[in-house]
Amino acid sequence: MRYLVPTVFFALFVIWYLTFLARRLDRLHLRVDNSWANLDVLLQKRASVALEIAHSDIADPASSLLLTGAAYQARDASIQHRSNAESGLSGALGLLLEDSRHLATAADSQLLTELSALTDKIRVAIAIHTDAVSRSQMLRRKYVVRTFRLAGNAPLPVTYEFEADVL
Amino acid sequence: MLSKLLKIGIVCPYSWDTPGGVGNHVRDLAEYLIAQGHDVSVLAPASEDAILPSYVVNAGKPISIPYNGAVARILFGPVAYSRVRNWIAEGNFDLLHLHEPAIPSISLLACWAAEGPMVGTFHAAAKHQKIIFAIGPILEPAIEKLSARIAVSEAARLTLTDHLDTDAVVIPNGIYASRYTHGSPQSKWQGNTIGFIGRFEESRKGLRVLIDALPVISRFAPDVKVFVAGPGDPEEAIKSIDPQLRARFEFLGKISESDKADFMTSVALYVAPNTGGESFGIIVAEALAGGACVVASDIPAFDDLLGHGQYGALFESENSTELAKVIIDLLRNQDKRIELAKSGKDHAQLFDWSVVAEQIYSVYEMAMVGGSKVRVAQDSRSWSRFLSREEKP
C-alpha cells in the first residue's frame, strides 16, 4: 500500500509525458506538411515562370528546349524524383541566366526580377522546411517515441535535397 | 507588395521604457507594419506609469537581471503568463511574432501558451550562453513550435545552431536609412574628428579601447577631437583619460535622431570599438547610411556587416595599437575615407525597412500557410483548467 501513491503519480507522469510527446510530434508533422505545401507552391510557380522565360526572347531555341523539358519534368515529377527534377531546372535556369542577363529587354527583365524574387522566397522556404523535417526526424528517433509508436502511421518525413547554391 | 492585411501580435521581451536594440527594432517594425495598414498589437513589459503608444499592451512591471554583459529588464511568472494568455485569446491574431524567445521572458511564455503560425526572431549572439545550454532541453519543445525562425545576423544564426540545434533565416535588423542620408555637415564636428555613439559606461561598448588609442593618434594628428554621444555620466570616463588629452574629448550626451544624421555626415571617422555582445550593430548600419567612414572592431557581427572590410575598416578587437594605426592611416588618406564611406552608404540601403520588412513579411506568409489562426494551446488550456479547479475551494 505504501507504494501505491508514488506508483500512481509515476503512472500519471508517464501518461502525461507520452501525450506531451505525441502532441509535440503531431505539431511537428503539421509543420512539415505546411512548409512542404508552401515550398511546393513556390516551386510550381517557378516552373511556370521558367516556361514563360523559355517562350520569351531571352532564350535561344536550344536553351528554350532544355528549359521547357526541365520545367515539365519538375512539374510532373513524383515525390521521389522531385528534388532531382527541381535541381535540374535550377541548373537549366542557371545556365541560361548566366549569359543572358545583359541581353534582356524591359519586358523580359520583369520576368527575371520575378524569378529572382521567387528564388529568394524558395531559399527561405527550403530553410524552413528542412528545419521542420530535421526536427521531426530527431524526435522520431527517440527511444520512447519508437517504442510506444507515438508517430502512429505517419510516414517519416524525408529531407528535401535541394542544391540551394544553384538557385 | 504587402498585399493582405493581417492582425499581427508582436511580443517584446524587454521593458518598453528602457531603450535597447530589440525594443527599437520591435517599435520600428510595428510602426512600419501599421503604416502598411496592418493591425498590430505589441505586448511588452513596462512600468505602470510609463506612457505607451496606442499599439502597445503592458504586460506588467519588469524585473532587472544581469544578462549578456548588460542589465536586462524582463518579465515572467504566473501573473505574466496569464496576461500573455489573455492577450493571445482576445487578440484573434493571424500571426504571432516573438522576439528573443530563448530568453526567460514573455516571448517564451507566449511561445508556450500559443498554437498556430508563429515566427521567432533571435537577436542575441554570444559564444557560450551557458544558461541556454542548461535549459536547452526545456526550451526545445517551445522553440519547436515556431513555424519559422529569423536570426538578425550570421553570428546570431550560429548561436542558434550551436545551442538549440535549429536553423534560421538571416534577415538583418532594419533602419530608416532615409533618415540618415540627408544630414547636413556641421562645422563644429568636422575636421580631424572621431565620432562614437553608445552607452559608453558599458565596457562592452569599448570606449576604453578608443581612449587607450588616443595618445598615439594625437601624436600623429595633434588636432584630433573625439566626440562621444550617448546617455550616461561622463565623470567616470573623463577621470580615466590622461589629463593632457582630456581636452580632446567632448561628451555630447544623448543626441536626437536628426543630430545623429548630421553627426554621421560630419565626422571624419565613426569608430565602433565594441568588444563583444553585439549581434548586429544597428548603430554601425546607421553610421553607414549617414555616410560616415566606419572603423569597427572585428567581432563577428561587424565583420559580417562591413563585408569583411569592404564597407568600412576593421581592427582587431580590444587592440588599441591597431585601432590607432587604422585611424591614423585613414585620417591621412582622405580619398580612401571617401571611397569607404561611399560604398558603405550604398550597402546600408540593404538594411532599410522597406527591404527588411518585405523580407520579414514574406516569412510571415510562409508561416501562415495552412490557414489556421493563433489560438491558446490545447495543453496550456487543460493545464489552466486544472489549476483553476485547484483554486476554487
DSSP string, B19-45: --HHHHHHHHHHHHHHHTT-EEEEEE-
pLDDT exceeding 90 applies to what percent of chain A? 6
The pLDDT score that the predictor gives to residue A114 is 85
pLDDT in tens, A54-68: 887 777 788 788 888
Which amino acid type is present at position B201?
A: E
Q: Does A131 touch chain B (CB under 8 A)?
A: yes
The pLDDT score that the predictor gives to residue B233 is 86
Residue B252 has pLDDT above 80, yes or no: yes
Residue B316 has pLDDT above 90, yes or no: yes
Q: Does B370 touch chain A (CB under 8 A)?
A: yes
Q: Does B157 touch chain A (CB under 8 A)?
A: no
The pLDDT score that the predictor gives to residue A100 is 62
Q: Does A121 touch chain B (CB under 8 A)?
A: yes
Question: In this predicted structure, which of A153-167, B94-108, B148-162, B249-263 has the lowest mean pLDDT?
Answer: A153-167
d(CA B204, CA B277): 7
Pick from B112, B145, B147 the residue to mutate for testing the A interface (most A CBs within 10 Å). B147
Residue A80 has pLDDT above 90, yes or no: no
Interface contact flag, A124 B363, Cβ < 8 Å: yes
Interface contact flag, A128 B169, Cβ < 8 Å: yes
The pLDDT score that the predictor gives to residue B383 is 57
Residue A165 has pLDDT above 80, yes or no: no
Closest to A89 in 3D by CA, of A74, A100, A108: A74
In this complex, the residue of B144, B167, B367 whose CB is nearest that of residue A28 is B144
The pLDDT score that the predictor gives to residue A73 is 84
pLDDT in tens, A93-151: 877 777 666 665 666 778 888 888 888 888 888 888 888 888 888 888 888 888 888 87
What DSSP character marks residue A35?
H
pLDDT in tens, B66-88: 766 667 788 888 899 999 999 99
Q: Does A128 touch chain B (CB under 8 A)?
A: yes
The pLDDT score that the predictor gives to residue B1 is 43
The pLDDT score that the predictor gives to residue B391 is 41
Q: Does A38 touch chain B (CB under 8 A)?
A: yes
Determine the average pLDDT of the residues in B2-31: 87
Residues 248-287 of chain B whose Cβ lies under 8 A from any Cβ of chain A: none
Residue B281 backbone class (left: φ over 0; alpha: ψ -120 to 50; beta: rest): left
Pick from B366, B378, B379, B381 the residue to mutate for testing the A interface (most A CBs within 10 Å). B366
In this complex, the residue of B144, B362, B367 whose CB is nearest that of residue A135 is B144
Of B135 and A38, more confident: A38
Coil, helix or strand for A27? Answer: helix
CA distance to partner chain B, nearest, from residue A50 (Å): 21
Sign of CA dihedral B176, B181, B186, B191: positive
Question: In this predicted structure, which of A97-106, B191-200, B240-249, B358-367 has the lowest mean pLDDT?
Answer: A97-106
The pLDDT score that the predictor gives to residue A101 is 61
Pick from A12, A20, A38 the residue to mutate for testing the B interface (most B CBs within 10 Å). A38
On average, the pLDDT of chain B sits at 86
pLDDT in tens, B210-227: 999 999 998 888 889 999
Size of interface A-B (CB pairs under 8 A): 52
Pick from A16, A131, A136 the residue to mutate for testing the B interface (most B CBs within 10 Å). A131
CA distance to partner chain A, nearest, from residue B307 (Å): 20
State the Cα torsion B9-B13-B18-B20 to the nearest 10°.
-90
Is the distance from CB of B293 to CB of B269 less than 8 angstroms? yes
Residue A152 has pLDDT above 90, yes or no: no
Closest to A161 in 3D by CA, of A84, A51, A79: A84
Put simply, whether the predicted model's pTM sits higher than 0.80 gets the answer: yes
The pLDDT score that the predictor gives to residue B134 is 59
The pLDDT score that the predictor gives to residue B142 is 84
Is the distance from CB of B69 to CB of B126 less than 8 angstroms? no
CA distance to partner chain A, nearest, from residue B386 (Å): 13
Q: Does A45 touch chain B (CB under 8 A)?
A: no
pLDDT in tens, B84-135: 999 999 999 999 999 988 888 899 999 989 989 999 999 887 665 555 555 6
So what's the ipTM on this one? 0.77
Predicted confidence band at B20 (pLDDT cuts at 50, 70, 90)? confident
